[in-house]
Structure 1
Amino acid sequence: MTERIIPVDVVGPIALDLTMNTGSIRVVVDPALKQARMVLTTEATSGPSADAIRNTTVSLNGQNLGVRVPDVAGGMNGSTTIRMGGGTMTFSGGNGVQIVNGNVHITGHGGGKVFVNGREVTSTGPAGDAATPIEAVVHLPARSVATISTYSANTVVTGTLARLEYVGTSGTLTAERTGDLDATVTSGSVVVGEVTGPLDINLTSGNVNVGAYSGHNARLNLTSGNVRMAATPQSTGRLSVNATSGSARITGAGHLNVRRRVTSGHVQIA
């Protein structure tokens, strides 16, 4: 296993800016924690994933922590993902895959290799230094904020962030509670239990679900995809919904100042 501990030599809440395109991200907000800490790990001891951890750049300026995990060589960036029946198929790079009479033929610049759970498989079993998933685990004090940019990493946030800004091309975000939420989603899924501040959603495809919205200004911009949100009696101000296509269903919003513009698709506000 390769492990790298990211030092955070400040006390109190921080502003995390994390860019990590693949793997998994776990953010834990702990009110009893005085000082943030972060660890990057991968199963491999050598190879592209271990190199990516060693080459991760870190900057700490006051309470602002910036972490950039480089793309893993042979990773899945610039790919196309097809979702079917709860599973996914991802295509990346040149040439392709053929299935003929039950046999799988793989061609490409990578030499037609086969990987299972990040390990290269040969006729005699696992071999090689293949890309293994990288996991980032971040523990933050209360009142911290986070900006997370990813391509396909699955992100889980437990506890309460003061603000969460999320940019995802694919993958999933699951968060318990945040003050402000600003999410730009090209594909994938975003599920947030509670939002207590301003809400700004830009959805091109995929799904966004907000369990309880009690903020004072919400803007939902859908090119396609689905948004589900439940407003609470504590929510105030404007709710703006702009749908080029897709579907939006917002409940408990009858007391809000609603503005809607629908080109195509379905918007239901009750």
Structure 2
Amino acid sequence: MATIKRHRVRVCGPVALDVESASGGLLVRAQDGVQAEIVVKTDDDSGPSAEAVKGARFIESGQNIRVELPQVKGGMSGVNIVIGSGVTMVNGRVVSGGYSSVGHSPIYIAALVPTNSSLRAKTTSGGVETQGELAHVNAHTMSGGIRIDSAASAQLQSMSGSVRLRDLRGDAQLKSMSGGIDVRASQPCRVDASTMSGDIEVSGDVDLQASSMTGRVHHERPRGSDYSSQRSEARAVGWR
């Protein structure tokens, strides 16, 4: 029997969600006309993972919602987040089929929020993924990828994992120590992107400043871009 802790936010409208987890991943889905709700779950009915879920705290202050998840006692060998049927994300990567892990059961964290909510997320082991349109997204992972569907602005950093931003509608700062960066802008904006190991792929009308130690920088611009190709390419001189 699983252990589940569910919290329905009292306020209506967009929220500022703040999540910090030492041993888990996060998925946030933004949708029109909903009231924010957060679910924390593990398949265990007892033991360290179950106790961590029971100890989860939801702190509300107006539109600000903070979620605190205790670290699993004794450590955790694998961190997963499963959303929907047949989709499994393990440490920031989406895989299909089953999986196995040694040690305590993984902890699942999912949040449903109104469109144009904002997100601050920090994970030690696990990825961050969003679906739908959010306002500002600030995400930091130690081990795990970052996948953002749509954001008005973003500050994203992964120590070990790739950074993907599918629809950027404003300025962004993107960093990865080990992993590629891929961003698509739907509106004119400024992007600062850097990685120690990995390629940087940017598309859209972007004022780009980018660097990669061991990868290449590629910027695909639309015709009639506000920012000249000479300006962006000059900032990538010296990089492959």
TM-score by length of 2: 0.79
Structure 1 segment 208-247 matched on structure 2, within 5 A? 208-231=181-204, 235=205, 238-247=207-216
Question: Given residue 14 of structure 2, which amino acid in structure 1 is its aligned partner?
Answer: P
Aligned residues: 214
The corresponding residue for 1:27 is 28
Does the alignment pair 1:256 with 2:221?
Answer: no
Larger radius of gyration: 1
Contact kept in structure 2, 1:148 and 1:167, CA below 8 Å:
yes
Matched with 2:157 is: 184
The alpha-carbon distance between structure 1 residues 262 and 159, as it changes in their structure 2 partners (threshold 3 A), is closer
Shift in Å at residue 220 of structure 1? 1.4
Distance 1:12 1:60 in 2: 14
Identity of paired residues, percent?
25
Distance 1:76 1:2 in 2: 17
Partner residue of 2:144?
A: 171
Secondary structure in 2 aligned to 1:50?
Answer: helix
Residue 94 of structure 2 is matched in structure 1 by: none
- Given candidates 80, 101, 110, the residue that maps to 1:137 is 110
Judge conservation of contact 1:203–1:223 (CA < 8 Å) in 2.
yes
- Alignment CA distance shift 1:220-1:32 (3 Å): same
CA distance in 2, matches of 1:197, 1:224: 25
In 2: Cα distance, 1:14 partner to 1:215 partner: 26
Cα distance in 2 for residues equivalent to 1:24 and 1:203:
17
Gaps in structure 1 of 5+ consecutive residues: 78-87, 89-115, 120-129
Give, in angstroms, the shift of residue 49 of structure 1: 0.8
What is the match of residue 100 of structure 2?
Answer: 117
User: Which residue identity does 1:247 align to in structure 2?
Assistant: R
CA distance in 2, matches of 1:60, 1:197: 28
Shift of 1:243: 4.0
Question: Within the alignment, does 1:46 sit opposite 2:46 as a pair?
Answer: yes
CA 1:248–1:152: 2 relative to 1, 3 Å: farther
CA distance in 2, matches of 1:229, 1:263: 16
Instruction: Say if 1:215 and 1:162 are closer, same or farther in 2 by CA, change over 3 A.
Output: farther
**Preserved contact between residue 229 and residue 250 of structure 1 (Cα < 8 Å):** yes
Query: Could you say which structure has the higher strand fraction?
Result: 1
Residue 6 (structure 2) aligns with: 5
2:80 counterpart residue number = none
What amino acid is aligned across from residue 152 of structure 1 in structure 2?
S
Q: In 2, distance between residues paired with 1:170 and 1:249?
A: 25
Deviation of 1:76 after TM superposition, in Å, equals 4.8
1:67 positional shift:
1.0
Deviates more, 1:20-29 or 1:191-200: 20-29
2:141 alignment partner AA = G
Q: Would you say the 8 A contact 2:15–2:63 is kept in 1?
A: yes
Deviation at 1:175, TM superposition (A): 2.5
In 2, the alpha carbon distance for the partners of 1:188 and 1:170 equals 6
Separation of aligned partners in 2, 1:56 and 1:67: 7
Work out the CA distance in 2 between the residues paired with 1:74 and 1:264.
46
Deviations 1:66-103 (A, max 9, x none): 112122223359xxxxxxxxxx9xxxxxxxxxxxxxxx
1:224 shift after superposition: 3.0
- Supply the RMSD in Å over aligned alpha carbons: 2.5
User: Is the contact made by 2:24 and 2:123 (CA closer than 8 Å) also made in structure 1?
Assistant: no
Tell me by how many angstroms 1:57 deviates. Answer: 2.9
Alignment counterpart, residue 161 of structure 1, candidates 134, 159, 163: 134
Q: Which runs of no fewer than 5 residues in structure 2 stay unpaired?
A: 78-89, 91-98
* Displacement of 1:244: 4.5
CA contact (8 A) 2:144 2:158 kept: no
